[in-house]
Amino acid sequence: MNRNHVAAMFIGVLVCIPLLALYHFGYFKSTAEWFAVLYARGFILPAGGLKQMLWLQYGYYTCMAFISAWVCIEMPSQWRRFAFLLGGTFLTTTFACIMAMSGVLFEPISGSLALWFAGIAGIAVGGSVNAYRCHVMRDYFVGRLSTRLFEELADQNNPAKMTERREITVLTCRLLNHGELATGIEAPQFEELATHFQRSISGFLIERGAYLDDCNARQVRVFFGFPLTDEHHALHAVQVAAVLRNHVATLTREIEQRFGKKAQIGVAFSTGPAVCGLFGVSHFESFSAVGDVIDFASQLCVLNAEYGSKVLLSARTYALVKDNAEVRPMEMVSTVGSSQMSEVYELLAEKGTLPEPDIRARDSFWQGVVQYRKGDLKQAQESFNSAVIEGREDAPLKYFMDRVDLALKEKSSPGKETPKHSRKLAVT
C-alpha cells in the first residue's frame, strides 16, 4: 500500500464520520422527505410507498468518499478531476431516480456531499504529491533534459517506477586528444576549453531531445530512449548525429581560433539493451544506465582517432536506421572477452541528402572494403582510387588505401602475414 492509498483512506474516513453524525441527528430526514414527495410527483408514485434503506445510504456515500479521494489524488489533470466530480454527481442523481422507480427512497445529497468533499480534499493532497514529485524529479533531471521533455516526464512518470531493462541508443562525443591539450596549454586555458566543449555539445544534444548522462572534460554522453520511452530512439539519434557533424566542425574551428590548438572531436553511438534506473547512494544518486552498450559506444568513439572519421555507429544501430541514413563500412570489431565480430559504419548524412558525387564515391569505397576483406587487393586498390574526390581530404579513405598498400607489400614479401581487416576493441 503506497502513500496515495493511505491518504485516500484517511480522507474517506474523515468525510464519512461527519456524514454519519448528520444522519444520526436526523439532518438528512427532511431532505429525504422532500425527495420522497418529488419522486412521487415525478414518477406518479405514492410518497408513503417508498422504503428507505439506511444501509444503502451509508454504503453509497462511503464508497463515493473513498473512490473520489483516490481518483482525485491519482488523476494528474485538473480538468479530468472536475469532469469526474460532475459525472459522479450526475450518476448519484440518476441512481436515486432509478431506485425511486423500484420503490426505494434514496436521497442523493449525502452521496454528492461525500463525492465533492472527498474530491476536493483529494485534489489538495494530489496537488501536494505532484508538487513534491516534481521537486524530486527536478533535482534529478533539470539540466539533463530539455524543458519540454521534463514537463512530459513529470506528467507521466514516477521516478521510483522507472527502473527496468530496455533498449536504448547511447551517443558519445569525445575530445579525442584531451591529454595532448591538457599538457600543451596552461591549466586555466584548458579549463576554459573543456568547459566550452562541455557546454556546447551538451546544450546542443539536450535541445534535440537527448538525456545527458555524463559530462566531463573528456566526453559528453547522452541517451535516446531513456528516461522517456521512445520507440524510434535509434532514428532520432541518427538525425541528431547528422547535424552534430556540422556543429562539431564549427566547434573545432572556434577552439582553434580561441586557444591556438586543434581539437579532435569524435562521435559514436550504439544501440542495445541496458538496465536503466536510479543508481548511486545518498546525494550521489542519478538516473543512468548500465550495460555493454554504454562501453561499446565509448570504444567506438575512440576509433574515430584511428580512422580519421567523424561519426561511427554500431551494426545494431545501422540495422534499425538503414532506410534513413547514408553510411559506409569501416572494420569488423569485437570487444574484450568476446569473439563475436560486429560491423562498424561511418555516418555520412541522412538518407537522400548526400550529393551524387558523394554517392558514387561511397559506393566505390564500399566495394573496395568488400574486396579488401576478400583478399582481392588489386581490385580493392582500384575501387579506393575511384572513391577519391578531387580537392577533398578523406581520412578514412586514406586509412584503407594505406592498409591496402601495406597488404600488397607484405604479400610480395615471403613469410609475412597479410594485415587483418578486423580489430579487438580496447577498454577505455
What is the tens place of the pLDDT at every residue in 289-304?
A: 999 999 999 999 999 9
Q: Output the pLDDT for position 78.
A: 75
Q: Output the pLDDT for position 95.
A: 81
Of the listed ranges 104-118, 265-279, 323-337, the least confidently predicted one is 104-118
* Prediction pTM value: 0.72
CATH number at residue 236: 3.30.70.1230
The verdict on 373 and 400 lying in the same domain is: yes
Mean pLDDT of 178-207: 92
The verdict on 191 and 322 lying in the same domain is: yes
The verdict on 89 and 210 lying in the same domain is: no
Mean pLDDT of 359-364: 95
Q: Output the pLDDT for position 150.
A: 81
- Domain assignment present for residue 37? The answer is yes
- Separation of alpha carbons 236 and 244, rounded Å: 12
Look at residue 237 and give its three-state secondary structure: helix
Instruction: Tell me which of 195 and 10 has the higher pLDDT.
Output: 195
- Domain assignment present for residue 387? The answer is yes
Q: Output the pLDDT for position 311.
A: 95
The verdict on 297 and 190 lying in the same domain is: yes
Per-residue CA distances from 127 to 4, 27, 72, 119, 122 (Å): 12, 33, 9, 12, 8
Final residue belonging to a domain, choices 140, 172, 201:
140
Residues near 394 by beta carbon (within 8 Å), at least 6 away in sequence: 361, 387, 388
- Residue 66 pLDDT class (50, 70, 90 cuts): confident
- Separation of alpha carbons 38 and 100, rounded Å: 10
Q: Output the pLDDT for position 149.
A: 85
Quick check: 261 pLDDT over 80? yes
Final residue belonging to a domain, choices 321, 354, 387:
354
**Separation of CA 243 from chain center:** 20
- Residue 337 pLDDT class (50, 70, 90 cuts): low
- Domain assignment present for residue 337? The answer is yes
Q: Output the pLDDT for position 252.
A: 94
Query: pLDDT (tens digit, 9 = 90+) per residue, 105-149?
Result: 777 888 888 888 888 888 887 767 666 666 667 777 878 888 888
The verdict on 247 and 332 lying in the same domain is: yes
Q: Is the peptide bond before 188 cis (omega within 30 degrees of 0)?
A: no
The verdict on 173 and 199 lying in the same domain is: yes
Q: Which domain holds residue 319?
A: 162-354
Rg, C-alpha atoms of the chain? 34
The verdict on 318 and 375 lying in the same domain is: no
- Domain assignment present for residue 149? The answer is no
Query: pLDDT (tens digit, 9 = 90+) per residue, 70-102?
Result: 888 777 677 888 888 888 888 888 887 777 777
Look at residue 346 and give its three-state secondary structure: strand
Final residue belonging to a domain, choices 293, 326, 354:
354
